[in-house]
Amino acid sequence: MAAGTKMESTGVLQYAGSAISAGKTRGLLSVFTDVSSATPNSGGLMYPRDNTGIPSYGYLINSGSYAGDYYINRNDTVGETAWKNINNSSGKFRMDDYYNYVHWPTDNKFVTIWDNMMAMDDMNFIVKCNGQSVLNATVNSMTVFDPSSGNPYTMASGSGSAGAFSVSAINTNWTVQMILTNTTQMMPTNINYDIKDYNTNLDIASGNVMLDMSNSWTQTITWTQRYYSIMKISLQTL
């Protein structure tokens, strides 16, 4: 899927009212909505938003057809840098951080960490986003699994990935399925899983699953992933 609109790389940037031309714009609202020359309705306001409960940073339109929150997407490298600059400066938003920003990227990112893999049996580790496989790998006690050493990497570069994953509509969360299967089926395997927001360390999902004969040696964990965050999947055998 093609990426959404991209912010210009030089010159003046503005909040709203800038046309999309050749896939680029100078207006943040046109990037957030992918609508050319998007502006708040008459009397409406667009202003920086700090949702400290998540925490996340973005902009709020307070009324009209574009009303709602638009969060900076950290799956885009420019977006992640802009988010970090706000986070590290106690909430100061800087327009020049948005040069080349793409709010709707062609691919998303994740982190996968298989920690303390002590099980004797081989494991099949599958991750699907909206049904598309972004990871399909066999892991065992000899595998150093995480290719990024704990850093985000694109879903297209995941082992056994079906390719780049992009949501079908802008500003849209997606469903993640993580499927764990003991393929050797010699010994029951006890696995802790911990899903977090990579940048904030916010908990998304966590728990423990046992792979044995009672569940046909396989378990599926499902959660909703916020479109603007990078997921970190940590697994540990007990």
224: nearest Cα among 185, 155, 172 = 172
Which H or E run includes 177? strand 174-182
Q: What is the pTM of this model?
A: 0.93
Of 98, 123, 149, the position where a domain reaches its end is: 98
Domain presence at residue 104: no
pLDDT tens for 163-173 read 999 998 999 99
Regarding whether 71 and 117 lie in a shared domain, the answer is no
Q: Are residues 228 and 141 in the same domain?
A: yes
Count the domains in the chain: 2
pLDDT tens-digit profile of 136-154? Answer: 988 876 666 666 678 899 9
Question: Do 141 and 85 share a structural domain?
Answer: no
Closest CA to 139 of 225, 31, 235: 235
> What pLDDT is stored for residue 115 in this prediction?
75
Domain boundary residue, one of 50, 71, 98: 98
Query: pLDDT tens-digit profile of 179-226?
Result: 999 999 999 989 999 999 999 999 999 999 999 999 999 999 999 999
Do residues 137 and 220 both lie within one domain?
yes
Are both 84 and 178 inside the same structural domain?
no
- Tell whether the model's pLDDT for residue 51 goes beyond 80: no
Is 88 contained in some domain? yes
| Residue 61 belongs to domain spanning | 6-98
Element of type H or E holding 222:
strand 218-225
Same domain membership, residue 184 and residue 147: yes
**So what's the pLDDT on residue 29?**
97
SS3 86: helix
Domain identity same for 114 and 229: yes
β-strand partners of 24: 6, 21
